[in-house]
Structure 1
Amino acid sequence: MAGNDLPSLGRVKLADLIPSEGLASDSYKLSVSTLSQSLAQYSAAIIQFSSSDGALLRSGLDSARLYFHQRASYPSNDMIHTNDSREWCKTSGYYADPQLWQETYDYRPGLTPTEPNTLEFPPGGLPDIFALLGKAARNILDAISFYLNLRSSPFSEILDNVPLRNREISSSVLSVCCHARPSFQGGQHHSLPQDEGQLVMFSDNDHLMDKSLITLMKSDKAGLHVRDFHGRWFLVDEDLGPQEAVVFPGLALYQATAGYVNPALLKTEISHMQANMYGRCSVAFKLMPKSMTSLSCSEMRAAGHGVEAQFQLPVPVDDFMQRSHPTDQLFNRHSLQAFTFPTAQDGSVKPARRRKNSSKCKPLPPSKRLRLEAQRVLKERVQDIADKRGIKLRFCNLKDCESHVHSLDSPCATTRIEIGWPPGVPFVHPHDLPNKAKVEFLKAYEPGWTETNDTELSLTEPGQTNQHTANCDSKMLFISVLFFP
């Protein structure tokens, strides 16, 4: 990343991220590259809206300030909620978390009443803001998919219908939040860290990760800190313009992209908020997957990306949302690297590649070495052939493709012929091929591979290697007992 580092948080116009039919424009490619590089370095980016959309967001913040200011000093017990993961897709209306000195109003279409009752009026403009930020979040998600070389709208199956069908409840939510409102007495009932009478930033143990796919946030005051690629915390909303909002990826996108897109690690600063009568208000749209679907990496595999073992099986969304996700397992894994976004000379975005771990380690098992070789050849040779011929690789399922290889009318027959796929080898991701088929794949695309590699060793499965060693040990033990009692 050294040669492509952005000097600061990337700024992208939303209008430049709206896809159009036909070939991608230069402005779209440049915007995707800037967005992606910013997400890689800073886990966040700044999205610039039109002047009319910016006015809508600012009016929403003004309405939010007045809404929370007129709330009672201390909420009733039924409005005090902690972060209950079981309720992740059911939150609606007002609730408070005194431990974080935070109040929230969740607008969730299909669940939140559209007509306010006579006792309380919610913040204004929420349906319009929900629609604006929801569309923006989907365009941003499609831009990330374009960079990753996925098909168009690859996550549509796990997203809500647009518009929602009758009696459907939105999984995505618009959260209007207020931090550290001085008239809110909830925080005074809990011990918060203090420094010379002023509230200070939450400690490192209080950092959070959204479980969304994409989150868009607009605040009226700076205070959102995000950890960058180097582990440093920085303030992302300090220099936001009136038409700008912050976007950052969440845990669901991390899971759906097999770890290629790191989730943002967040914490909110509430220092010096006591001098402000309204506290810090924000509106945040969280693009969430539907609860009855699963997060699968099949699209990543189909696009030719390597998928590690922990991402191989689909994960039910509801289970994923209720599960804890320790940050040390996400950010301290040697195999997980932030993705980079190089741009070719013609302006096109190259497929993402993970950095290799340079640390010395034990020799890899033969089958794993063979698998890594196959993945390398796929990226360096096969993908290059497909790109030059304008072919988008769509791999089959191994079980289904066993019959395809013997038919000229199969769905993958034309693609196999055009890219020179070896005869008799199923058209599946090399990662999933049997070892013998991997060897045939390597012979076809890597001239001289047989001469420079020990084919017999590569064909040996790890279990077979261990069994062979065990058999040899048993024979030696038998001979020792026989001749040296």
Structure 2
Amino acid sequence: MPAYLRALDALSTSLDRHNAAIIELSPEDSALLRCAIDSSRLYFRTRKGGRGVYTYRAGRPLEDVDSSPPCMADIFRCMGKAARAALCAIARHLRLRSDVFNHLLDDSPLPANEASSSVLVATFSQISLQQGKVATGGGKIAVSCEVEKGLLMLISSDAPGVMVCDNSGRWYQADSCMAPGELLLVTGKALSHATAGLRPASSYRTISDNLMIPTNGGRTSLIFRLMPQGNAILDSTPIAAAGHVIPQSYGPISVSQFMDDLSAEEDVLCNHNDNTYVPADNLNMEPSLRTVLSDSLSGAFLDDAMLVSCGHSFGGLMLRKVIETCKCILCNSEIEGGSLIPNHALRAAALAVKQEDDRRLFHNATLRKRRKEASEHRENGDITPENGLNRGVQYPFTVNEKVVIKGNRRTPDKFVDKEAVITSQCLNGWYLLKIIESGENVRLQYRSLRKISISHDSERRCVPQPVLSSS
């Protein structure tokens, strides 16, 4: 445990100071990563003409194994395990449960016939030299600043080339001291929203320095992006429960809507000319729909919105503040206490967005419950050829009813084929039973039981019972 706490402290300190961290893998995983880098470089140089990008997603069938770099499935599992461990460490640093973000992730192991939300990207970039100079001009090739959309990103490459902006606004080369088989960790916007900005997203950019490029003239990289499920909800409520102060802008939002908003921001950037400077603050001048429909103090939806005399609308704690001060906080106008009018249009819009978020949250919970039930069915062998699963009633028995324990792999052998009486009904199809023969109490699920047939019960009553007499 002391070693883990030291590693946790080193990770959190590096993220706080540098917005990035280097993760050291086990010798086995490090060797696998180096092998994957070498094989990916060979794959791109021999089959892709020295340049290319390949995206791998677990659970998605490969049409042609020969057309993909080798070891992708193994590397996906290796880097995915490291990403989940880093996410747990970040949660511990924020005084949260280590599994607080697990509801955002895919089930592990991934259910059959389901593609992963996270992706693994293999890239190879080759620099062509013309007359001793880089073809694109200058000693470095740099792309514009990027920010990861997902939870976090892990990068491994055979040559340095990633610059990160630290918390003081200085750009530095983050992977210059990385050893082969190590991973560079940067955090994303989804994690920033889920932590209410306590773990901000890292800004990074990729550069290619011709003095640091290997002798093969290219740079091979493996990038793992830990992405949340599209039907999950980014909610910073656990952050508030841990005692942290949450800004009003970090309200609950579905992952799909969050990603759509990020794509809209990217479209704004793309529509501007490359030579035009656009301040970062200007990108957020247009507030999001949830910001407009939420109370700026409490973050709650404006289902009690009121129109004041100056024309502005408020609700929740902000409305209370306006009434107490008799002054609009937006235009500084004097407010007449008796002039409040319900803003039904704003209330209806806020209620509609709130119901949509609730539906997504309910759908996410229902989906996970079905996956768990399907996994239990597979373990117990309850498979039917019609639909693959036996979706019977979870409570087919009543209290005081006699049953026979047919058992499954989880049932102790001493209870199999024993008759019992149901004494109480528990959650999720479980029952508390009393064994008739021994008087023992046992808790079993409905799939382990079957009703006593009439013929079986009558045969049992016809069996002569021993008579005890005293001489």
TM-score, normalised with respect to structure 2: 0.55
| Worse-superposed segment, 211-220 or 55-64 | 211-220
Note if contact 1:221-1:280 (Cα within 8 Å) is conserved in structure 2.
yes
Deviations 1:67-123 (A, max 9, x none): 10013449xxxxxxxxxxxxxxxxxxxxxxxxxxx621111012241x734xx3422
- Structure scoring higher RCO (CA < 8 A, sep ≥ 6) equals 1
Q: Which amino acid aligns with 1:144?
A: I
Note if contact 2:165-2:204 (Cα within 8 Å) is conserved in structure 1.
yes
Deviation at 1:247, TM superposition (A): 0.8
SS of corresponding position for 1:58: helix
Shift of the 193–247 alpha-carbon distance from structure 1 to 2, 3 Å rule, reads: same
SS of corresponding position for 1:283: strand
Deviation at 1:209, TM superposition (A): 1.2
User: 2:64 matched to which residue of 1?
Assistant: 116
User: 2:53 matched to which residue of 1?
Assistant: 104
Shift of the 70–298 alpha-carbon distance from structure 1 to 2, 3 Å rule, reads: same
User: 2:197 matched to which residue of 1?
Assistant: 259
Does 2:3 align with 1:60? no
Note if contact 2:151-2:228 (Cα within 8 Å) is conserved in structure 1.
yes
User: 2:228 matched to which residue of 1?
Assistant: 289
SS of corresponding position for 1:241: coil
User: 2:360 matched to which residue of 1?
Assistant: none
Deviation at 1:172, TM superposition (A): 0.4
User: 1:299 matched to which residue of 2?
Assistant: 238
Shift of the 232–192 alpha-carbon distance from structure 1 to 2, 3 Å rule, reads: farther
Q: 1:226 aligns with which of 159, 164, 184?
A: 164
Q: Mapping of 1:124-139 within 5 angstroms? A: 124-139=70-85
Q: Which amino acid aligns with 1:43?
A: N
User: 1:312 matched to which residue of 2?
Assistant: 251
Deviation at 1:277, TM superposition (A): 3.0
Does 2:160 align with 1:211? no
User: 2:265 matched to which residue of 1?
Assistant: 324
Does 2:170 align with 1:194? no
Root mean square deviation of aligned Cα: 3.9
Aligned identity (percent) is: 31
Q: Hey, what's the Cα distance between the residues in 1 that align with 2:330 and 2:21?
A: 49
Q: Which amino acid aligns with 2:75?
A: I
Deviation at 1:462, TM superposition (A): 6.1
Q: Hey, what's the Cα distance between the residues in 2 that align with 1:331 and 1:47?
A: 35
Q: 2:86 aligns with which of 136, 140, 144?
A: 140
Does 2:21 align with 1:156? no
Q: Hey, what's the Cα distance between the residues in 2 that align with 1:54 and 1:461?
A: 65
Does 2:116 align with 1:170? yes
Deviation at 1:274, TM superposition (A): 7.6
Note if contact 2:328-2:335 (Cα within 8 Å) is conserved in structure 1.
no
Deviation at 1:463, TM superposition (A): 5.2
Q: Which amino acid aligns with 2:141?
A: M
Deviation at 1:275, TM superposition (A): 7.3
Q: Hey, what's the Cα distance between the residues in 2 that align with 1:144 and 1:457?
A: 39
Note if contact 1:173-1:285 (Cα within 8 Å) is conserved in structure 2.
yes
Shift of the 159–209 alpha-carbon distance from structure 1 to 2, 3 Å rule, reads: same
Deviation at 1:276, TM superposition (A): 3.8
Shift of the 332–169 alpha-carbon distance from structure 1 to 2, 3 Å rule, reads: closer
SS of corresponding position for 2:208: coil
SS of corresponding position for 2:85: helix
Shift of the 151–279 alpha-carbon distance from structure 1 to 2, 3 Å rule, reads: same
User: 2:179 matched to which residue of 1?
Assistant: 241
Note if contact 2:326-2:335 (Cα within 8 Å) is conserved in structure 1.
no
SS of corresponding position for 2:3: helix
Residue-pair matches, total:
299
Note if contact 1:297-1:312 (Cα within 8 Å) is conserved in structure 2.
yes
Larger radius of gyration: 2
Does 2:209 align with 1:271? yes
Q: Hey, what's the Cα distance between the residues in 1 that align with 2:136 and 2:282?
A: 27
Deviation at 1:180, TM superposition (A): 2.4
Note if contact 2:195-2:239 (Cα within 8 Å) is conserved in structure 1.
yes
Note if contact 1:44-1:264 (Cα within 8 Å) is conserved in structure 2.
yes
